[in-house]
């Protein structure tokens, strides 16, 4: 798992979108512990059937932006990273600096207003999530496992509402 977290950090800004596929018999609690333990920032899907046959875990499947399979095998295989680099070259620079990149091929990664932290609501209950966006008094939050949810900001503690207001104001002025 650490090598996948490292790949995500290394290539996410270049357009890589990792999606973990949990195929073992861990409980949701065990899976949540793994996500927290390894600080996984990409979504993890459960109850997954592979589009290609695989023997062994871990197994990585890499698709290019065009949807074609470019690699299937163990993620530690040097060909895995070569396939990722080759696929990302075909997409180009997501910032458009290369001039010939088609950034429309990139899967959008959510921006983050506030990094992963513990939020408290007005009743004292807590949740650990990052704040992605704010619209019409509602925040879009994401848990560490990538699941997103909307939450009415007026239900947050006064202190957390101030955090949201400060961060929203600083992004609007940028």
Domains and CATH numbers, the chain: 2-105 (3.40.30.10), 114-172 (2.30.30.700)
Cα–Cα dist 96/73, whole Å = 31
Report the pLDDT value the prediction gives residue 4, as an integer from 0 to 100: 82
pTM of the model: 0.49
Strand 138-142 versus strand 148-152 pairing type: antiparallel
Cα–Cα dist 18/3, whole Å = 12
Cα–Cα dist 4/22, whole Å = 13
The answer to whether the beta carbons of residues 120 and 112 sit under 8 Å apart is no
3-state secondary structure of 86: helix
Would you state the structure tokens that stand for residue 84, as one six-digit string? 């990722």
- Mean pLDDT of successive 10-residue segments in the chain (174 residues)? 82 80 81 87 76 72 80 86 86 47 46 89 92 90 83 94 86 54
Report the pLDDT value the prediction gives residue 89, as an integer from 0 to 100: 83
Report the pLDDT value the prediction gives residue 94, as an integer from 0 to 100: 46
């Amino acid at each position: 798992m650490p090598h996948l977290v490292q790949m995500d950090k290394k290539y996410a800004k270049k357009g890589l979108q990792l999606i973990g596929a949990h195929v073992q018999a861990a409980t949701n609690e065990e899976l949540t512990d793994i996500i927290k333990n390894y600080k996984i920032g990409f979504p993890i899907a459960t109850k997954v059937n592979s589009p290609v046959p695989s023997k062994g875990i871990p197994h990585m499947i890499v698709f290019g932006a065009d949807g074609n399979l470019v690699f299937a095998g163990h993620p530690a295989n040097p060909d895995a990273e070569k396939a990722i680099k080759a696929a990302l070259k075909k997409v180009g620079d997501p910032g458009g600096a290369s001039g010939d990149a088609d950034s429309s091929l990139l899967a959008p990664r959510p921006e983050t207003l506030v990094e992963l932290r513990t939020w408290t609501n007005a009743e004292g209950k807590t949740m650990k999530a990052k704040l992605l966006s704010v619209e019409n008094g509602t925040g879009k939050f994401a848990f560490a496992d990538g699941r997103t949810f909307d939450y009415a900001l007026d239900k947050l503690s006064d202190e957390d509402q101030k955090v949201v207001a400060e961060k929203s104001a600083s992004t609007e002025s940028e």
